[in-house]
Structure 1
Amino acid sequence: MREISPSTTLKVLENAFKKRAEGKDISILAAGEPDFDTPDYIKEAAIRAIKEGKTKYTPVSGIPELRRAIVGWTEQRIGIKYSPDAVLVSSGAKQSIFNVLFTLIEKGDEVIIITPYWVSYPEMVRLAGGNPVFVDSAEDFHLDIDAIGRSITDRTRAIILNSPNNPTGVVYTREEIEELAVLLRNKEIYVISDEIYDCLVYGGVKNYSIAKVKGMRDKTFVVNGVSKSFAMTGWRIGWVLGPERIIKLAKSIQSHTTSCPSSISQYATLAALTKDDGSVERMRATFEKRRNRCIELIGEIPGISFPRPDGAFYLFLDVSRYTHCSFDFATELVDHDLAIIPGIAFGKEGYLRLSYASSLEEIEKGIRHLKEFIEELREK
């Protein structure tokens, strides 16, 4: 059995939920999912699918009309026209990444992962038989192209990009994406571009997909889904677009593991992508207001800084002035009525990830608890 790391996130949250069950008024700013309900027009599409008997197996890669909708939606988002045969619909973006890794990786292959990273990337690489190679981001949490170049060996098979980024909220610029493309263009290295937060960007910032860069489309897998942008985490629909030959192989892997995604969720997703009633923009605008309030409130706490959060719904707080162990710090915060995720869960010590996927009232209360805790530490 391979040794897979347990979730540090769950350890902190278990303690927080236990205290809440005991009646403690604890603020939880740790969510990795929107706090909004799925829009009604999407739920109504799912109900129609059930009533119309659309409850059987579908093609493994997804119903044709959904794959066509994904092609159209992707072209609108990033300006690239794919064939429906280049699309594989899965049970969430996590499975999409997993399928690609299992298709590409042979035992001992290396996959570059930028630190800090989403918690599941290293474990998925290990499950596929590969070795994660961690490369620190630059000081501002953007890409350190020179460091990436130094990490490449003859065993490097892929690099995972995540922009907008979880946990930092950073959105990579077009310039740094193009610089990375120059580095990779003549190398047999694939890019897995996790763009699950690409609708959630703020202040006029746009996410730029590396698949758009000349010479990169045929070596890039663009991963997306409806969990974050459409508040559909429980519906479990994600997808990947990429080179048709490899997508076909990934489809074979999926056929022997989970088979097709939920038929009902697929029809709900079809409605999400083709009949948006403005819900996505309303949610994005609300997140932006919350982000701005977080920036204002955290700015009042001495000794804490963070990279510019242009996307997703997180702030990555530098608390290294107060602790060398983010897990212990987060554990103590639970005793001060705030649950927040330690940076070590994302491979970066001395930081905390704050999620603003909560009401403004909850956010303000939680940050107040953080400020009070910091004031106590400063008085010691």
Structure 2
Amino acid sequence: MSALKFPLNPAMAGTAAPPVMEARRWLDGVEFPADRPLINVSQAAPVETPPPAMQQAMADAILHQPDAHLYGAVLGRDDLREALAARWARLYQGTVSRENIAITAGCNQAFAATIACLTQKGDEVIIPTPWYFNHQMWCEMQGVNAVPLPATTNLLPDPDQARALITARTKAIVLVSPNNPAGVEYPAELIAQFRDLARENGLALIVDETYRDFHSVSGAAHDLLSDPDWSDTVIALYSFSKSYRLTGHRVGAIIASAEFHHEVEKFLDTVAICPNQLGQIGALWGIENLDDWLAGERQEILSRRAAIVEGFPALEALGWELLGAGAYFAYIRHPYAISSPDLAKKLVQNAGVLLLPGTMFRAASETIGASEVRVAFANIDKHGISTLYERLAAQKF
């Protein structure tokens, strides 16, 4: 293949390759025997299809709803925006209207649009580590400095430490709860402290709630939206992908002020023109019909979380340490002298396990990532978790 004759954006060229795609390449050429199939705990996405009734509703839309095939409103379908606003208002005991909702092509696009509207090259965004790598990657591509805020006790970020990181260039603080990659659920009081910190300093507080439907708290996980002035500081992000198994249809949302969405609309119109129509139709059908089904999905994930915790003493006795567990994730410290990237590659060969090394979730300056790994257990049941632990326990490095 010939070398490129044209220049690349240095910020893009300097951004690391997508971690999940990199990890998948570790499978190339590896054969897994029938009695030891691959356990893939690398990606936090359900692989099962949506419920049959939802699929039927979406199929009916393809056949009988002409606008399912056409451009739609840039900020999303009004019926879905209204339904999500009503759901969030009810859940969080706050005032949320259709004007506060923008539908996006997945939650990654929601984050990208939000950062694009808040920052310019040279600005800073404070993000607790371990962080979701796509958040850091987007900032890096835009020439925005993702400032790491290393989590402390129980992998919770400290507002006082965040305060010390604020500069004239800081534009936002990002929280993800339940957290990806650590699984940790941030207490409502802690989230409120970050809101107060952001408000005092004229910053946006971005709260990514991609996994909120699998939170161990059945009601509101925070009280941010019960504040009548919430939209002067708070920007919430949400994903329908995990809740309704719509990952391939790319449907997410931004919950923010109507004024902010005037700017968001510019970004979305330029990037995608409108969100996926069929995915939006499915998401609306889910809101209107799948509360009981979603409650069952939540209970299943919580039962897997319990299996992660209850079965861990077998690994703990061998020197492993469970740092966090929740939503789809377990974040673990391994006991070996080798680095987590090397360990992860060896586990593919030796144990038939694909997981991600902690270095993918840490700033380059945080060497602690070399002793950490992330397990995404969305697609393995209790038996699969037990088998995973048995394979890890059998390894010696």
Cα-to-partner distance string for 1:340-368 (whole Å, 9 max, x where unaligned): 11111111331111121123333222221
Cα-to-partner distance string for 1:257-285 (whole Å, 9 max, x where unaligned): 11101111111111011111522111111
The answer to whether the Cα contact below 8 Å between 1:181 and 1:216 also exists between their aligned partners in 2 is no
Gaps of 5+ in 1: none
Alignment of 1:55-94 (within 5 A): 55-94=69-108
1:42 correspondence with 2:63: no
Residues 100 and 359 from structure 1, CA distance in 2 versus in 1: closer, same or farther, beyond 3 angstroms?
same
Residue 323 of structure 1 and its aligned partner are, at CA, apart by 3.4
Paired-residue identity, %: 23
The answer to whether the Cα contact below 8 Å between 1:110 and 1:133 also exists between their aligned partners in 2 is yes
The answer to whether the Cα contact below 8 Å between 2:75 and 2:102 also exists between their aligned partners in 1 is yes
Between the aligned partners of 1:139 and 1:149, the Cα distance in structure 2 is 17
The answer to whether the Cα contact below 8 Å between 2:194 and 2:205 also exists between their aligned partners in 1 is no
The answer to whether the Cα contact below 8 Å between 1:221 and 1:242 also exists between their aligned partners in 2 is yes
- Which residue is equivalent to 2:308? 294
1:352 correspondence with 2:373: yes
The answer to whether the Cα contact below 8 Å between 1:41 and 1:271 also exists between their aligned partners in 2 is no
1:6 correspondence with 2:17: yes
* 2:110 pairs with one of 90, 96, 112: 96
Other structure's SS at 2:163 match: helix
* 1:238 pairs with one of 246, 252, 260: 252
Residues 57 and 282 from structure 1, CA distance in 2 versus in 1: closer, same or farther, beyond 3 angstroms?
same
Cα-to-partner distance string for 1:70-91 (whole Å, 9 max, x where unaligned): 1011112222222212211111
Between the aligned partners of 2:274 and 2:295, the Cα distance in structure 1 is 30
Q: In structure 1, what residue type is equivalent to 2:320?
A: I
1:367 correspondence with 2:385: no
Residue 312 of structure 1 and its aligned partner are, at CA, apart by 1.4
Between the aligned partners of 2:99 and 2:247, the Cα distance in structure 1 is 25
What is the aligned residue count? 373
Other structure's SS at 1:159 match: strand
Between the aligned partners of 1:134 and 1:209, the Cα distance in structure 2 is 26
- Which residue is equivalent to 1:51? 63
Structure 2-normalised TM-score? 0.88
Query: How well do the aligned residues superpose, as a CA RMSD in angstroms?
Result: 2.0
Between the aligned partners of 1:120 and 1:60, the Cα distance in structure 2 is 23
Moved more, 162-171 or 224-233: 224-233
Between the aligned partners of 1:246 and 1:183, the Cα distance in structure 2 is 20
1:317 correspondence with 2:332: yes
Moved more, 363-372 or 202-211: 202-211
Other structure's SS at 1:43 match: helix
Residues 145 and 33 from structure 1, CA distance in 2 versus in 1: closer, same or farther, beyond 3 angstroms?
same
Other structure's SS at 2:221 match: coil
Cα-to-partner distance string for 1:295-325 (whole Å, 9 max, x where unaligned): 122221121122342x311110111x32352
Between the aligned partners of 1:41 and 1:191, the Cα distance in structure 2 is 37
Between the aligned partners of 2:194 and 2:276, the Cα distance in structure 1 is 36
Gaps of 5+ in 2: 1-8, 363-368
Cα-to-partner distance string for 1:180-212 (whole Å, 9 max, x where unaligned): 223222211101110010010237685226444
- Which residue is equivalent to 2:6? none
Cα-to-partner distance string for 1:131-155 (whole Å, 9 max, x where unaligned): 1111101131112112101100111
Between the aligned partners of 2:47 and 2:225, the Cα distance in structure 1 is 31
1:202 correspondence with 2:216: yes
Other structure's SS at 1:73 match: helix
Residue 292 of structure 1 and its aligned partner are, at CA, apart by 1.4
Q: In structure 1, what residue type is equivalent to 2:190?
A: E
Residues 266 and 366 from structure 1, CA distance in 2 versus in 1: closer, same or farther, beyond 3 angstroms?
same
Residues 96 and 209 from structure 1, CA distance in 2 versus in 1: closer, same or farther, beyond 3 angstroms?
farther
1:332 correspondence with 2:369: no
* 2:322 pairs with one of 294, 302, 306: 306
Between the aligned partners of 1:206 and 1:300, the Cα distance in structure 2 is 34
Between the aligned partners of 2:291 and 2:53, the Cα distance in structure 1 is 8
- Which residue is equivalent to 1:162? 176
Cα-to-partner distance string for 1:106-157 (whole Å, 9 max, x where unaligned): 1211000110011101111123331111110113111211210110011100
The answer to whether the Cα contact below 8 Å between 2:244 and 2:283 also exists between their aligned partners in 1 is no
Residues 350 and 209 from structure 1, CA distance in 2 versus in 1: closer, same or farther, beyond 3 angstroms?
farther
Structure 1-normalised TM-score? 0.92
Residues 17 and 362 from structure 1, CA distance in 2 versus in 1: closer, same or farther, beyond 3 angstroms?
farther
The answer to whether the Cα contact below 8 Å between 1:7 and 1:345 also exists between their aligned partners in 2 is no
